[in-house]
Amino acid sequence: EVQLVESGGGLVQPGGSLRLSCAASGFTFSRYWMSWVRQAPGKRLEWVANIKEDGSEKHYVDSLKGRFIISRDNAKNSLYLQMNSLRAEDTAVYYCARDSNHCHEEWGQGTLVTVSS
Amino acid sequence: DIQMTQSPSSLSASVGDRVTITCRASQSISTYLNWYQQKPGKAPRLLIYGASSLQSGVPSRFSGSGSGTDFTLTISSLQPEDFATYYCQQTYSAPFTFGGGTKVEIK
């Protein structure tokens, strides 16, 4: 059974940093592109970033470039999102997703990030 | 960035109704269009990829069509478990933008 389990969310002050993790199991992690998608309260889904199977290629939504960094450790079957200089508008549920056929075919349950003083 | 516009933003329907949701892209995206279902407090679930391919395990009452800029998600006979919010997404070019969602409610 495919499982994606996010962790690392929580309350952080504006300007702070947070590192999200996504633990993958039930499939060969190193064979898939992976993505992060977020959803602010009551808002639409927003694709954040993705990363190639071997980590050699990464793409970001323009508005987050330079603040967020996606990475992966295939030996640990884990995906990461380093979030820096956090702002109130970054408050959202963050999902990791397994990509295939140009879609997000499997999703984790999400982790809530709240940016507030 | 490619803008995705869904309509309607919400609709009320009864069990057994045929429901159609549309999604329009601001430029041609070929068939790089996906549909997701999301229930409150839950992660999205992939329904349709490549505009018309049914994801494994998804009931056949769900179908998708379209290419270029105009796409449709159809639920042939609405079931109680289908009341949810539906999102389209283009994966033609990054950033992979989503539509605003269509909330399907019980009439």
Is the separation of the CB atoms in A49 and A97 below 8 Å? no
pLDDT at B84: 97
At residue B107, the pLDDT reads 87
The pLDDT of residue A65: 79
* Percentage of chain B modeled with pLDDT above 70: 100
A102 with B1: Cβ contact below 8 A: no
Q: What is the mean pLDDT of chain A?
A: 97
Over residues B5-19, mean pLDDT: 97
Please calculate the CA angle B51-B54-B31 and round it to the nearest 5 degrees: 15
- The pLDDT of residue A34: 98
C-beta neighbour count of B83 within 10 angstroms: 17
**Below-50 pLDDT ranges, chain A:** none
Closest chain B residue to A60, measured at CA: B95
The pLDDT assigned to B2 comes to: 97
Structure tokens at A45: 């889904």
Contact assignment for A46 to B49 by CB distance below 8 Å: no
Q: Residue B55 above 90 pLDDT?
A: yes
Q: How many CA atoms lie within 13 A of A76 on its CB side?
A: 9
- Alpha helices, DSSP H, located in chain A: none
Nearest one of A21, A53, A95 to B89, comparing CA atoms: A95
Given CB atoms, is A110 within the 8 Å cutoff of chain B?
A: yes
pLDDT at A70: 98
pLDDT at position A71 is: 98
| pLDDT at residue B106 greater than cutoff 90 | no
Mean pLDDT of chain B, nearest integer: 97
Q: Do A95 and B98 touch (CB under 8 A)?
A: no
Longest distance between any two alpha carbons in chain A, whole Å: 41
Percent of chain B with pLDDT over 90: 98
Q: In chain A, positions 10-29, which contact chain B (CB-CB < 8 Å)?
A: none
Return d(Cα A58, Cα B58) in angstroms, integer. 30
* Chain B interface mutation, best of A2, A3, A44, A60, highest count of B Cβ atoms under 10 Å: A44
